[in-house]
Amino acid sequence: MTDLPRIDLTQRLAGRVAVITGGASGIGLATAKRLAAEGAKVVIGDMDATAGPAAAELVGGLFVQVNVTDEAQVDHLFDEAARVYGSVDIAFNNAGISPPDDDSIETTELPAWQKVQDVNLKSVYLCSRAALRHMTAQGRGSIINTASFVAVLGSATSQISYTASKGGVLAMSRELGVQFARQGIRVNALCPGPVNTPLLQELFAKDPERAQRRLVHIPVGRFAEPDELAAAVAFLASDDSSFITGSTFLVDGGISSAYVTPL
């Protein structure tokens, strides 16, 4: 019997440079740890001037403070990654918000709508554009944009601007994946189900009934852990996913496939 080849996951991303927005907490921080463990140099872009440097130090990487809605700051983030480490190979455009004043369309006012659109959708446009400047010159790269399972499902407990923004991220990622496929660049939309992050904990601590209403629809019977999403990002960042682009990459515990959940 022929021995199967062994894959050293500590070297799967060796020599790659990864830029992660929202990298100081939640899915972003878990992904920073995972990509660093697989050999990547990690650049953390975040607003938090305390948690950001601590996260970068934890993964032996670089912190760049950035407001992801500001074009000049986003360009600086990706240019600095290339200046310090020599390339931009992976962009995990993950920063996002879900504020309490984004609710039903009947109660969500225009300022709340616009703030969510700017942070969740405009930022992905800016980050993808900045990353692509480097990746097209290199002839390679992997962009992973954080969308959501709500981009493919409707919810009666609405966060109207959040849902719309994530639908935009999904559609934009699909188009970029097709447009740049023959230039050696892959673009995929990560679509998490509900994840056990500080953002979700804060939202649901205020309304346990609302949390339970969501939880009951997940076939696996629990929320995802950030490490589980980080593993999916590492796969999409690596050459193991070399034939995957323009995808709706659902990591949702089965929620988007469920008609009824198991007893």
**Cα separation, 199 vs 95, whole angstroms:** 12
Residue tagged 């601007």 (tokens): 161
Active site residues: 162
Environment class of 153 (CB within 10 Å of its CB; exposed 0-12, middle 13-18, buried 19+): middle
With respect to residue 259, please indicate whether it lies within any of the assigned structural domains.
no
| Closest C-alpha to 133, from 171, 183, 63, 188 | 183
Mean pLDDT of the chain: 95
- pLDDT tens for each residue of 6-45: 778 789 999 999 999 999 999 999 999 999 999 999 999 9
Structural domain harbouring 51: 10-195+225-251
With respect to residue 32, please indicate whether it lies within any of the assigned structural domains.
yes
With respect to residue 136, please indicate whether it lies within any of the assigned structural domains.
yes
Q: CB-based contacts of 233: which residues, under 8 Å, 6+ apart?
A: 27, 31, 34, 35, 92, 144, 190
Return the CATH number at 47. Answer: 3.40.50.720
With respect to residue 146, please indicate whether it lies within any of the assigned structural domains.
yes
**Cα separation, 126 vs 124, whole angstroms:** 5
With respect to residue 51, please indicate whether it lies within any of the assigned structural domains.
yes
pLDDT of residue 247: 98
**Whether the model pTM is above 0.85:** yes
With respect to residue 111, please indicate whether it lies within any of the assigned structural domains.
yes
pLDDT of residue 15: 97
Q: Cβ(25)–Cβ(96) under 8 Å?
A: no
DSSP single-letter state for residue 102 = -
pLDDT of residue 43: 98
Does residue 1 carry a pLDDT above 60?
Answer: no
With respect to residue 122, please indicate whether it lies within any of the assigned structural domains.
yes
Comparison of pLDDT for 131 and 203, the residue scoring more = 131
φ, ψ at 258 (rounded to 5°): -90, 135
pLDDT of residue 5: 67
For residue 167, give Cα distances in angstroms to 112, 154, 221. Answer: 17, 11, 25
Does residue 76 carry a pLDDT above 90?
Answer: yes
Please give the tally of structural domains in the chain: 1
Across 66-137, the runs of DSSP E, i.e. the strands, are 90-93
